[in-house]
């Protein structure tokens, strides 16, 4: 009979920090400091590259979308959220263009506006 806690073999999914690290607290702190240093280095590098002409600028958002949005079973919600966001942006842009295109047609002629101001 099981006591509800499960054995170590049953626990496959562990949260960060739950795994046992040999060597104690020193290795854990070293791991966190290594992660912090890499995060700072990669962030500084990305800001440097984005601020220069080393990379063709339109490729940056395309690469970010390609890296973060995939069609795997775990990312279905990400793909749907992206599609919905693109739909909303297209509706707002299309509606704005339609309103601006018809604005001149629906406005009162300028000579009538000038007569009203007298």
For the stretch 82-102, pLDDT in tens is: 789 899 999 999 999 998 888
Regions of the chain with pLDDT less than 50: 1-2
DSSP letters of 50-67? HTSSSS-TTHHHHHHHHH
- Phi, psi of 54, rounded to the nearest 5 degrees: -65, -30
pLDDT score recorded for residue 113: 77
Strand stretches in 1-118, DSSP E: none
> What is this structure's pTM?
0.38
| Pair 41, 47: CB distance under 8 Å | no
Within 10 angstroms of residue 79's Cβ, the number of other Cβ atoms is 13
Per-state percent for the chain, helix, strand, coil, to nearest 5: 65, 0, 35
Contacts 24+ apart (CB under 8 A), 76-83: none
Q: What is the mean pLDDT of the chain?
A: 78
């Amino acid at each position: 009979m099981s006591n509800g806690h499960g054995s170590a073999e049953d626990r496959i999914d562990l949260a960060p920090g739950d795994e046992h690290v040999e060597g104690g607290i020193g290795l854990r702190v070293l791991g966190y400091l290594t992660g912090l240093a890499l995060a700072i280095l990669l962030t500084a590098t990305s800001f440097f590259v984005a601020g220069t002409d080393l990379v063709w600028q339109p490729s940056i958002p395309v690469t970010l979308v390609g890296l973060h949005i995939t069609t795997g079973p775990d990312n279905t919600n990400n793909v749907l959220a992206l599609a919905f966001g693109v739909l909303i942006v297209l509706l707002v842009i299309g509606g704005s263009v339609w309103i601006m295109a018809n604005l001149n047609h629906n406005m009162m002629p300028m000579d009538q506006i000038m007569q009203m101001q007298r």
